[in-house]
Structure 1
């Protein structure tokens, strides 16, 4: 077994995975934006912000006792910081997009799209109209179907750079630096949630099992990928350190074709598959949402029942 066992939530079918992942994402959103999952507390915070939209603006005047000035200012700064919070999420492509389509779109009443910043854990360097484009697939199956008047901010690659993997990776890294390190010097960006799938060959994002040099990369945030063994050859991908630095790392895997690789990931960490590395590197912050088919080859594994936190449990509906 893997030396660091992640949380593994298993469901009888695809739709169960989609609903639970939606709840997981919405819970991460609420924890990030409001520091609570209590719906009554969240509603009170929203109402308070509506009543005081200019709270802590640079032109506001603050009357405070001299002795308590520093603590009062710090509290107000903290409230202002929370009011301006963004939910920073990174996603990959493939079957994960279908699960997000199935789970998120029916739950738009609980999603605050206007506070979302969406990034991509990897991208295939093809035109956006190609079925192989992660952004293109997400646009067609999620973004274009959002009913809300408010929309998320979406950060995708520069389509004009798809013929040069290194330049494309450098450009996307600059986007990350601008958004995560504009004011502060940070070693790595921190996503509030990073969602990944896992292919039958064991690759996650565009990190492939036999690309050892990339799996050992310590400094780069975003890397070019050439000669990928499956699918489009040229890609970019977030690095292992960036993935492991996320506040929450979530794998979403379904299907009987994934069962053999899931067994190796969980039982043979010494094989050094990318997801096994993440299980160890982000220990305590990793969750797996899988259907029963994907666990078909695992016999000695502890599965947990998923507890719904932000939407109604469909089993109780």
Structure 2
């Protein structure tokens, strides 16, 4: 039996279509499973927000801690941030404007140091890697609860199980979605990482992310915010065991600083508002005065 090239071409096309249908079906099933996990993360952690630049590109993850304040890492403040995006498990550039809040200012800790080699893969020195992002409108907690902050120090997190939740890429999509990873606390090997704890991935076989994620993301001990990621999850690797790890800046020692910065900004905003209102009042008084003079002048002429 002679098989024509038309028949061969038809069989190749048919098998290709079958393969793509099967692959697409498996991909859809995987996406549905992933999306269920992503939605669960969003429901359990409504205080997690995305930090975007002027072109609405994702830069970092942050955590709502008050009606106007978002906590993140100091490294995240090295780029110009413009928006806080709230209430979503998935970030795209086409995100709706009603989910965006403009940023009034950012505050970097005065002792911040982050030194690294090889594009951040080898962190050589780390100190006070913490920063605040202040919203122009004090409404962050009107619709979303703030995180419960635990007053922990590094010694109190010994052998603790820590969980990081933040935004990162998934599959071949350009969207950013919420992802998570568990860590087991281990001693940090570098004495120049101040006020930090370290953690190795709980099990390399239980990895829950696909690409690096969660720069500036919260690190949770049970249900409380205990630390902030010093670098994106999935980048740092222990050379001795080839196990992935991360460095976390513990929040406890910085709680007085956080409260002081929030109070200072509130006072400054109040003074600015009073000055602006006072200026408006002076303008109104002057307007009334000149209007009164004008009326008198008209009466004099008539």
Please state which band the TM-score falls in when normalised by the shorter chain: under 0.3
Flag the structure with higher helix content.
Answer: 1
Calculate the TM-score normalised by the size of structure 2: 0.24
Calculate the TM-score normalised by the size of structure 1: 0.23
The answer to which structure, 1 or 2, has the higher relative contact order (CA under 8 A, 6+ apart) is: 1
Say which one has the larger Rg: 2
